[in-house]
Structure 1
């Protein structure tokens, strides 16, 4: 399951992660975010052990959203070795998201 993450956990859980990390920047009021939420959950199960999946509520964690230049949501960032290697903006179909993730695993 995709877990909510905060600024205080960011360094240890995302930047220092030994496996790639997918982070979903979202908000409660965002319709497209609700559309891709089940896809993000499916990916968390599908890639368990190979990929960590976290969610960042941009209203709660504005500093993280600003740090990564999140201008529209949903935005998925894929981190590998502490660096952003993919940025997926908008509610894409699961297959399109999988293709973008798979090349980094």
Structure 2
């Protein structure tokens, strides 16, 4: 399994828009991608919006990354995000999977 964590820092005044679009995107991913095992949206006390994603394997991650809606979300959010980072992990233990 592969884990991905994305951190987005929305520009002031655009937090609700970024959050709403991320929620729609997460639901679309889980509904349409059989290898997307988890796609959770989180927010910390500083206003950072993030994802916790879990994919069955590399192929599932590549399917996710190549969807039209993945590219569309990136283009849509770009003007509203101050900073973004992505971290990739090899999942060593996930007892609910």
TM-score of the pair, normalised by structure 2: 0.35
Larger Rg: 2
Task: Choose between structure 1 and 2: higher strand proportion.
Answer: 2
Instruction: Flag the structure with more relative contact order, 1 or 2, with Cα contacts below 8 A and sequence separation at least 6.
Output: 2
